[in-house]
Amino acid sequence: MMTCKQVSKGSAYKYYGRQVVVGDGRRPRGRSLEEAQAEAGVPPGVWMGRALLAVGLVAGARVTEEQMRNLFGEGLHPDADRIVAGRLAAGDSPAAAARAARLGYRIQKWSGNDLVFRPPGSVQALWALGTPPVRRLIEDIHTRIIGEVLTEAETEHLWVRVGGDSTVQRARAGVIAARFRHYENRDGMPLLHDHVVLSVKVRRQDDRWGTLHTRSFLEYAVALSELYNQRLMEEICRALDLATVPRYPTAGQRPVMELAGIPEQLIDWAATRNKATMQRLKELADQYQKGTRQPLTTKIRQRLMARASHETRPPKTKTSWPLPALRARWRDGAVALVGEEVVDNLLRLARLAAAAIRTSIRTAVDVAAAALEITAIVSVHHGGRFRHRHLLAEARRYLTRTLHGHPAPPHTDTTITAAAIRDHCIPGDPPNPDKPTPLAYRTFTPAWAPTSPRGSTTPAAHRIHHRARAEAARRTALARAETQQKPPVRQQEHTPQAALQQLPPAPSQAPGGRG
């Protein structure tokens, strides 16, 4: 999955400089970034993004402390110190030298967005307990899929405000991002995850630097997260001959797709943070319902989940362990839980389960059926009013759920989304011919339901997934019945005579010419 939170200049940036860059541990005072990362056993941060060339950086180059401070602490060019020194040496005034190091206007509050990518629990278990080649393979796929997600983000979902009326316009493709890899959670349990800190500095269409319209970007965070989930599991299953199955960690909520054959004890064993969070969430949900006597909606549940996660967050340890030491400790814990034979044969167990699943997988995608199903599900989850991003995210969930790790053909997700909008949706807002609304901002309603206030039909959180699936099944059955009730095509329409009637008139012949 991928989560996202904003990074402010100043205090939030200092948090990243002290802890995130050194594996979520605590960086000793006076210790250089390189020394602290080496002691923590985490690789150095690296640069990524298409806009690196515009600031003289190279993808994969090491992120330095000065570059982090300049870009995310002040919103300046990553090499602002070098630029200012060069301009001063050339005779520029201090003010002119400072302007040369700026990337557009000064940032007001937010300097970046922290995208955190982490595989599901079964992948974490296989990564932590598998052989070194399996571990490296999972890490390589994880890195590559992060790159794919970032490519979509920087080519499809970058917007800036320009002009005196703050008109929202598409930005030029390209971001500046720093990626930091971590190996464990706050409890020292396996949690492969990467922080991709994305600068808000992007280029406008006139090639000047502007500031990312963050709200528009964050609106597509769920769709980007589902892209990561889909592509990660596809590539891992393809490389290791595995398959996925749904797992329902929370009753009434959407399933999480996990690798088949990985024992649930190992998935739960690594998820120490999740267990504490879910226990606190149950307490908060009970308090809310007793105090308000209202059902727990999805939106309220999300807010309580964020609070539960924050309240159960343990303090960060000051002790850092290199990955080989962590893997040895994890193996001891897993062996004590499920036995040495299970741990040693984890990949074989997963392949055995996958072989049984693959015999029943339908690898062909019925776009029409998928479009109807995702529209029905989204209409229930979002109270009958939704946008393109909701359909796109659901299309990716559909592919992940139905193909069980088999790779979907390229662009199948966008094809399903387009079919859903074309065949099963109607505009929810009046059209404006003078100023067409971008697709990302258009509101839709399902073609079979009247427009209703947003959220008016949203069921309680513990029932919403079952109700959405039931609505999808009902709509699919209705569509199938309508198809079966259509009168059969008359046979003569398929005869040569009928086909001849569909041909355009033949060109006129000259007298005496051939017939």
Radius of gyration of the chain (CA): 27
- In this structure, which amino acid lies at residue 268? D
In this structure, the number of other CB atoms found within 10 A of the CB of residue 15 comes to 12
Residues belonging to the chain: 515
**Which of 215, 241, 267 is at the close of a domain?**
241
pLDDT tens sequence for the chain (515 residues): 999 989 887 765 666 666 665 555 555 566 666 666 666 667 888 999 999 999 999 999 999 888 988 999 888 999 999 999 999 999 999 999 999 999 988 888 889 999 999 999 999 999 999 999 999 999 999 999 999 999 999 999 999 988 777 778 899 999 999 999 999 888 889 999 999 999 999 999 999 999 999 999 999 999 999 999 999 999 999 999 999 999 988 776 788 999 999 999 999 998 766 677 777 778 788 888 788 877 777 778 778 877 887 777 766 665 667 889 999 999 999 999 999 999 999 999 999 999 999 888 888 999 999 999 999 999 988 888 999 999 999 999 999 999 999 999 999 999 999 999 999 999 988 777 777 788 888 999 998 864 444 444 455 555 566 666 677 677 677 766 665 554 443 333 333 333 334 434 544 434 344 33
Taking the C-alpha atoms of residue 81 and residue 72, their distance in angstroms, rounded to an integer, is 14
Name the CA dihedral angle for 130, 132, 137, 139, rounded to a multiple of 10 degrees. Answer: 90
Same domain, 373 and 230: no
Taking the C-alpha atoms of residue 400 and residue 237, their distance in angstroms, rounded to an integer, is 12
Are the C-beta atoms of 140 and 238 separated by less than 8 Å?
no
**Which of 210, 241, 272 is at the close of a domain?**
241
Q: Tell me if 327 is assigned to some domain.
A: no
Q: Identify which of 349, 325, 446 has the alpha carbon closest to the alpha carbon of residue 39.
A: 325
Q: What is the DSSP letter of 493?
A: G
Q: Tell me if 45 is assigned to some domain.
A: yes
Same domain, 228 and 372: no
Same domain, 234 and 382: no
What are the respective helix, strand and coil percentages of the chain, to the nearest 5? 50, 15, 35
Q: Tell me if 29 is assigned to some domain.
A: yes
SS3 445: strand
Which residues have a Cβ under 8 Å from the Cβ of 461 and sit 6 or more positions away?
A: 252, 253, 295, 296, 297, 298, 300, 301
Are the C-beta atoms of 212 and 205 separated by less than 8 Å?
no
Q: Tell me if 255 is assigned to some domain.
A: no
Q: Tell me if 13 is assigned to some domain.
A: yes
Q: What is the DSSP string of 367-428?
A: HHHHHHHHHHHHHHHTTT-EEHHHHHHHHHHHHHHHHTTPPPPTTHHHHHHHHHHHHHEEES
Q: Which domain holds residue 475?
A: 367-484
Partnered with residue 112 across adjacent β-strands are 7, 199
What's the Cα-to-Cα distance from 454 to each of 218, 372, 377, 383, 410, rounded to whole Å?
20, 21, 15, 5, 33
Q: Tell me if 222 is assigned to some domain.
A: yes
Are the C-beta atoms of 80 and 74 separated by less than 8 Å?
yes
Q: Tell me if 304 is assigned to some domain.
A: no
Taking the C-alpha atoms of residue 82 and residue 207, their distance in angstroms, rounded to an integer, is 23
Q: Identify which of 45, 57, 53, 52 has the alpha carbon closest to the alpha carbon of residue 21.
A: 45
**Which of 209, 224, 241 is at the close of a domain?**
241
Same domain, 235 and 380: no
Taking the C-alpha atoms of residue 56 and residue 346, their distance in angstroms, rounded to an integer, is 45
Q: Is 340 exposed, middle or buried (0-12, 13-18, 19+ CB in 10 A)?
A: exposed
In this structure, the number of other CB atoms found within 10 A of the CB of residue 451 comes to 15
Same domain, 223 and 76: yes
Domain count, the chain: 2
Q: Rounded to two decimals, what is the model's pTM? A: 0.83
SS3 8: strand
Taking the C-alpha atoms of residue 235 and residue 250, their distance in angstroms, rounded to an integer, is 26
Q: Tell me if 207 is assigned to some domain.
A: yes
